[in-house]
Amino acid sequence: MIDTAMDNEPTPRKEQPNNPLHGVKLADILEVLVEHYGWESMAAKVNVNCFKSDPSIKSSLTFLRKTPWARDKVEALYLELRGRRER
């Protein structure tokens, strides 16, 4: 018996035309910010220990994925930087 409901077609992703972060990975956001600001300036802008004490992309990703308010601040900082670059 063939299951016609499961046709093995990939599920299309929901389009998010109004979301400027759609398709941008958190790791990519961090890399851009670290390259532009450096860890010390990022710690001053977003006051979290993962940017102050032995900072790394890996530890920051772990923290930001578990802490929505900090992730929101980092994403806002990225959007601010991206907006300045596009002018």
Q: Please write the tens of the pLDDT for every residue from 10-40.
A: 555 566 667 888 888 999 999 999 999 999 9
User: Which residues are within 8 A (CB) of 65 and not within 5 positions of it... i.e. 6 or more apart?
Assistant: 26, 71
> What domains are defined for the chain?
26-86 (1.10.720.30)
CB 41 within 8 A of CB 81: no
What integer pLDDT is reported at residue 27 of this predicted model? 96
Rounded mean pLDDT, 56-78: 96
Q: Which two three-digit tokens encode residue 71? A: 């992730």
User: Which one-letter DSSP state was computed for residue 46?
Assistant: S
Predicted TM-score (pTM) of this structure: 0.75
- H-helix or E-strand spanning residue 63: helix 57-66
